[in-house]
Amino acid sequence: MKILALEPYYGGSHRAFLDGWSQASRHDWTCLTLPAHHWKWRMRHAAITFAQLLHETQSSDFDLLFCTDMLNLAAFRGLAPKAISQLPSLLYFHENQLTYPDQFRTQRDYHYAFDNFQSMLSADAIWFNSQYHRDEFLQATRQFLSRFPDYQLDDQIDLLAQRCTIAHPGLQVSPKRETQPRFDCPHIVWAARWEQDKNPEDFFAALQQLNDHGVSFRLSVVGESFRDSPKIFAEAQEMFSDQIEQWGFLPSHADYQTLLRTADLFVSTAIHEFFGISAAEAILAGCIPVLPNRLAYPELVEHQTHLLYDGTPNGLASHIQHLTQDQSFQQQAQQQSHQAQQRLKNLQWPNLAPSYDTAAERITPQ
């Protein structure tokens, strides 16, 4: 089967998913991509740009159209060459523009949310990266449409839900870990964008409680920082300077995997996350996850109680302290983490791509 993939935002999780699937796939892929910056402009012009490009190349020998939530699929199908516009289409949601926390961005423009809705109406199949993401978006879309004066289209939500499937992101194969996690002085990793929606304040508040209680640990805080990154990072770098192993952005994913294989605990404090790739990669690398009992995290570890905390700084500090001092708690966490690791191996691209290939084939007419 020949797949035409359109990716208006070729970076981050979008790039990892497209590269991972297309390279491990048994199908023949043609990928058209645009640089991963100026996301609002990408959502505005990508449909026109891709349609124009396809008119110029006159390429039409495809069986399936794949795109992500950054493309207005309805607009593209209206502008594209007829042979392309009539292809069966698969729409993948990495994120959406309705439930992404707007207090961490500029003021929300609901036109982008409506673009997501229109794209869903235009797609033959819709994949979400987690059940949490799908359920949250469909519920929020129903509420969003109810605010309009008439023709509220809410009957469309039930029809769209029937076309929605959960398709977790694929993961790279993780090299085998040589050592078991240690708990006497655990190496704790926090890895996320240095932004407010990842909630760094709660993480560092919990670490301060551990220091106050005399709990020993080593610390690595990694991720992409920005000019307006929260000031807490500079303060924490000084506060925990004697315990830091790694601080700041790592130049390559291989460096990040190396770090994970030397770490013991992976902690998240996020208040926004549609899937949790960093946590999944850490579990695959052999880290014990310590995740808030919210968002997509319970789904990621199948509600294993010893891998989830109550989502508060006090709860996080207490959870880590149990891991360092309670042997029974340690054993339960290790067992549950190992079970999660075995399940996540199914998401490594060599294992996952064949099932996605088969699912894609079912979208096309037989």
Find the CATH number of the domain harbouring 159.
Answer: 3.40.50.2000
Q: What pLDDT digit, counting tens, does each position of 20-50 carry?
A: 999 999 999 999 999 999 999 999 999 999 9
Q: How many domains in the chain? A: 2
Count of CB atoms situated within 10 Å of the CB of 153 = 13
| Shared-domain flag, residues 191 and 128 | no
| Shared-domain flag, residues 118 and 153 | yes
Residue 221: strand pairing partners: 190, 247
Task: Please state at what angle helix 200-212 crosses helix 232-239, rounded to 10 degrees.
Answer: 20
Give the chain's count of helices (H) and strands (E): 15, 12
CA distances from 201 to 179, 222, 271, 282, 333 (A): 31, 15, 11, 21, 25
| Shared-domain flag, residues 161 and 221 | no
| Shared-domain flag, residues 333 and 359 | no
Backbone angles phi, psi at 141, to 5 degrees: -65, -40
Residue 176 lies in a domain: no
Show the domain range for 110.
2-170+348-363
SS3 (DSSP) at 12: helix
Residue 179 lies in a domain: no
Residue 175 lies in a domain: no
Q: Which of 192-206, 222-236, 322-336 has the lowest mean pLDDT?
A: 222-236
Rounded to the nearest integer, the mean pLDDT of the chain is 94
Separation between Cα atoms, residue 143 and residue 136, nearest integer Å: 11
H helices of 123-199, in order, are 131-145, 155-161
Residue 70 lies in a domain: yes
Residue 317 lies in a domain: yes
| Shared-domain flag, residues 253 and 265 | yes
Mean of the pLDDT values across residues 280-301? 97
| Shared-domain flag, residues 115 and 81 | yes
Q: What pLDDT digit, counting tens, does each position of 174-186 carry?
A: 888 878 999 999 9
| Shared-domain flag, residues 234 and 357 | no
pLDDT(103) > 90: no
pLDDT(248) > 90: yes
- Report the percentage of the chain scoring pLDDT > 70: 98
- What token pair was written down for 7? 């990716």
| Shared-domain flag, residues 7 and 97 | yes
| Shared-domain flag, residues 36 and 156 | yes
Q: Answer whether 52's CB lies under 8 Å from 30's CB.
A: no
| Shared-domain flag, residues 210 and 92 | no
So what's the pLDDT on residue 58? 72
**pTM reported for the whole predicted model:** 0.94
Chain-centroid distance of CA 265 in Å reads: 20
So what's the pLDDT on residue 20? 97
| Shared-domain flag, residues 29 and 126 | yes
pLDDT(77) > 60: yes
Mean of the pLDDT values across residues 206-222? 98
| Shared-domain flag, residues 163 and 191 | no
So what's the pLDDT on residue 107? 66
Separation between Cα atoms, residue 309 and residue 316, nearest integer Å: 6
